[in-house]
């Protein structure tokens, strides 16, 4: 947990130093809200490129990175590693109104296995696995109990400075 705090602080310091400006995230939030997985992916990839080192490519780092970039919204409260359903979801985004769309985000870090290269298909499979994990572990249940009826689910896989994003309603 201390490592996640450190990583979140590192990402937030990037925003304070204007490595990633708040205005750069408008398209990210619009894509996310609209269920536009390709647009959300494109915007996350734009933010990954100047922000991380290949040495930072592990799931806790990506978790802190995503919490940092999503914390810039005035429309959502970001919850990290909260118990929900049958486990802990990586990230929950709760809008101010229960009538607006809430989100569950599950992250996967993809590792290269020997000399076998990581391909977009491997990354897509990991993003789909993340969505299955949201469903199988009922991570949206906490949002439903809080009165949110409109919930989007994102599975995001990361490899170095690239990500793949998949989306599912409900």
Task: Output the CA angle 55-44-70, nearest 5 degrees.
Answer: 100
Pairing of strands 151-159, 102-109: parallel
Write the CB contacts of 75 (distance below 8 Å, at least 6 apart in sequence). Answer: 29, 95, 96, 100
- Predicted confidence at residue 112, as pLDDT, reads 86
Task: Output the CA angle 119-67-168, nearest 5 degrees.
Answer: 55
- Predicted confidence at residue 61, as pLDDT, reads 85
First to last CA, the chain: 29
- Residue 164 CA to residue 129 CA, distance in Å, equals 12
- Is residue 50 within 8 Å of 20, Cβ to Cβ? yes
- Residue 125 CA to residue 32 CA, distance in Å, equals 20
- Predicted confidence at residue 136, as pLDDT, reads 95
- Predicted confidence at residue 85, as pLDDT, reads 55
- Predicted confidence at residue 23, as pLDDT, reads 47
CB atoms within 10 A of CB 145: 10
Q: Which of 5, 20, 153, 157 is nearest to 89 (CA)?
A: 153
| Ranges of each domain in the chain | 2-169
Phi, psi for residue 123 in degrees, rounded to 5 = -65, -40
Residues of the chain with pLDDT under 50: 1, 3, 16, 19, 23
- Predicted confidence at residue 114, as pLDDT, reads 82
């Amino acid at each position: 947990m201390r490592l996640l705090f450190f990583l979140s602080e590192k990402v937030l310091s990037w925003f304070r130093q204007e490595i990633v400006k708040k205005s750069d995230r408008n398209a990210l939030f619009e894509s996310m809200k609209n269920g536009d997985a390709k647009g959300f992916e494109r915007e996350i990839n734009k933010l990954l490129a100047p922000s991380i080192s290949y040495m930072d490519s592990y799931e806790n780092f990506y978790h802190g990175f995503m919490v940092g970039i999503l914390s810039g919204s005035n429309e959502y409260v970001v919850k990290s590693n909260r118990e929900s359903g049958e486990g802990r979801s990586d990230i929950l985004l709760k809008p101010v109104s229960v009538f607006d769309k809430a989100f569950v985000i599950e992250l996967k870090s993809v590792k290269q296995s020997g000399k076998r290269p990581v391909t977009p298909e491997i990354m897509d499979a990991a993003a789909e696995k993340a969505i299955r994990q949201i469903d199988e572990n009922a991570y949206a249940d906490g949002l439903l109990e809080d009165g949110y009826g409109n919930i989007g689910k994102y599975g995001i896989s990361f490899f170095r400075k690239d990500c793949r994003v998949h989306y599912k309603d409900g």
